[in-house]
């Protein structure tokens, strides 16, 4: 008996073991790929190079006497310039590209909550508000503020603490973010997703230049929004008096000035109605604004600008006012959505730890109804084709999950069959395998 032959791994077993490993590798790869398609959420693109020269060209239809659009607009990844009244887009670049929107998202926060939050109602800051990351207006835990104070803190210095406070005053972050997403759908900003009320970078949070312009155009229908956006300087409530501080002679709660971050307004650019700046590491520089000159109102947005948004927007707006009648529109914004009935609901009053103060259930219930109304209204305005598409999308993921599970079941059964076959092949005696091998070799020798 050949000892080497008797101790070697049986040929049948080797063949099935190799096939099983290959099959397992192929099937597991397919399963992983399919699962990734199902599970992985869409995300906005990460920040890219400063010079977006590789991006799509600017879209503009110049008439015979029209001036070319300023070359500096090539240093923006995405923008839209539109007539606020007609919605006609005068010029644009990659308008539907999904990108992080930074603090321009705060316009959606205001658009969602302003129509029903009483600006004169009282809100008490929480630790969550005070601890907000990034830019702050100065909201302190336990201190009282009017809702109007919070909107100035939100839209002027872009306070993330004010954004948190407004969301909490509106019944909580979860309720407010759901209402923000419903409001975006309602006004036609269908490529916008909110994950927080401030615009701080978060996975899956994004918008487009067309959507930002659409949201701002709708917000302009709210008088309180336009009034707040037009303010350069505001006296914001200071920290409350601390009676236990023996080293302080302060007996009256004072104020301190906060300033707008919109340099078009701050530097008196002609006709500026207001604008909202934004900047994060992922979004880069973003900006959305409206300006009125000579009876015409233009609204615009910039996303991921590689140069000063003040300079770029002033160039774009100046060109727009000079050439609006000399170009053919290249697109249009969605129609301005009909306003929901205005309400005057009290903000939820919270303790410093975020729990509601006593007797707040009525305010919480009223705000829940108001926010839910936005979701219902958004659903009612969905067209049949959009609804069908949504249903198909809703059904598609379960189908993929079932397909993934089916592939996994097939893989397990296939491997089980292979291993059983391999064990049966290895159950023969070594001598028999030795004889078979010799017979096999003999036939090939002759």
Residue with tokens 């505001």: 234
Could you tell me which residues come within 8 angstroms of residue 281 by beta carbon, excluding any fewer than 6 positions away? 47, 201
Cα–Cα dist 378/366, whole Å:
19
Return the SS3 of 264: helix
- Active-site residues, by number, are 103, 106, 158
Tell me which H or E stretch contains 179.
helix 173-186
CA distance 344 to 91: 39
Burial of 341 (0-12, 13-18, 19+ CB in 10 A): exposed
Exposed/middle/buried for residue 311 (C-beta within 10 Å: 0-12, 13-18, 19+)? middle
The radius of gyration of the chain from alpha carbons, rounded to an integer in Å, stands at 31
What is Dmax (Cα atoms) for the chain?
113
Residues across the chain: 446
State the burial class of residue 9 (Cβ atoms within 10 Å of its Cβ: 0-12, 13-18, 19+).
exposed
Residue 310: enclosing H or E segment and its boundaries? helix 309-323
Cα–Cα distance measured from residue 63 to residue 345, given in angstroms and rounded to the nearest whole number: 50
- Distance CA(336)–CA(216), nearest Å, equals 10
Q: Return d(Cα 261, Cα 201) in angstroms, integer.
A: 19
Handedness of CA 412, 413, 415, 420 (dihedral sign): positive
């Amino acid at each position: 008996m050949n000892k080497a032959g008797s101790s070697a791994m049986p040929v049948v077993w080797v063949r099935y073991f190799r096939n099983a490993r290959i099959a397992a590798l192929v099937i597991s790869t397919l399963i992983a790929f399919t699962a990734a398609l199902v599970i992985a959420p869409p995300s906005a693109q990460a920040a890219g190079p400063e010079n977006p020269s590789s991006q799509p060209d600017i879209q503009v239809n110049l008439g015979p006497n029209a001036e070319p659009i300023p070359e500096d607009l090539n240093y923006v990844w995405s923008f839209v310039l539109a007539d606020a009244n007609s919605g006609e887009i005068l010029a644009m670049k990659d308008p539907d590209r999904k990108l992080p929107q930074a603090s321009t998202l705060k316009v959606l926060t205001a658009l969602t909550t302003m129509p029903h939050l009483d600006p004169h109602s009282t809100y008490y800051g929480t630790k969550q508000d005070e601890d907000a990351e990034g830019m702050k207006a100065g909201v302190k835990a336990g201190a009282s503020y009017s809702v109007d104070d919070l909107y100035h803190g939100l839209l002027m210095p872009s306070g993330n603490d004010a954004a948190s406070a407004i969301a909490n005053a509106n019944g909580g972050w979860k309720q407010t973010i759901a209402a923000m997403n419903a409001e975006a759908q309602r006004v036609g900003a269908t490529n916008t997703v909110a994950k927080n009320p401030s615009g701080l970078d978060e996975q899956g949070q994004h918008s487009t230049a067309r959507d930002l312009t659409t949201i701002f155009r709708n917000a302009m229908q709210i008088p309180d929004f336009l009034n707040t956006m037009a303010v350069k300087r505001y006296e914001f409530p200071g920290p409350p008096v601390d009676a236990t501080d023996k080293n302080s002679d302060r007996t009256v709660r004072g104020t301190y000035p906060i300033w707008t971050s919109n340099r078009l307004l701050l530097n008196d650019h002609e006709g500026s109605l207001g604008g909202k700046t934004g900047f994060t590491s992922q979004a880069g520089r973003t900006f959305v604004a409206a300006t009125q000159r000579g009876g015409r109102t233009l609204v615009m947005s910039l996303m991921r600008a590689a140069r000063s948004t003040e300079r770029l927007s002033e160039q774009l707006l100046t060109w727009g006012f000079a050439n609006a009648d000399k170009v053919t529109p290249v697109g249009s914004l969605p129609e301005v959505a009909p306003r929901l009935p205005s309400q005057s609901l009290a903000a939820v009053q919270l303790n410093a730890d975020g729990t509601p103060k006593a007797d707040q259930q009525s305010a919480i219930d009223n705000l829940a109804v108001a926010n839910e109304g936005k979701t219902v209204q958004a659903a009612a305005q969905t067209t049949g084709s959009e609804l069908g598409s949504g249903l198909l999308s809703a059904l598609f993921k379960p189908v993929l999950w079932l397909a993934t599970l089916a592939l996994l079941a097939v893989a397990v059964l296939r491997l089980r069959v292979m291993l059983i076959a391999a064990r049966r092949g290895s159950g023969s005696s070594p001598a028999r395998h030795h004889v078979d091998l010799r017979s096999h070799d003999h036939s090939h020798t002759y």
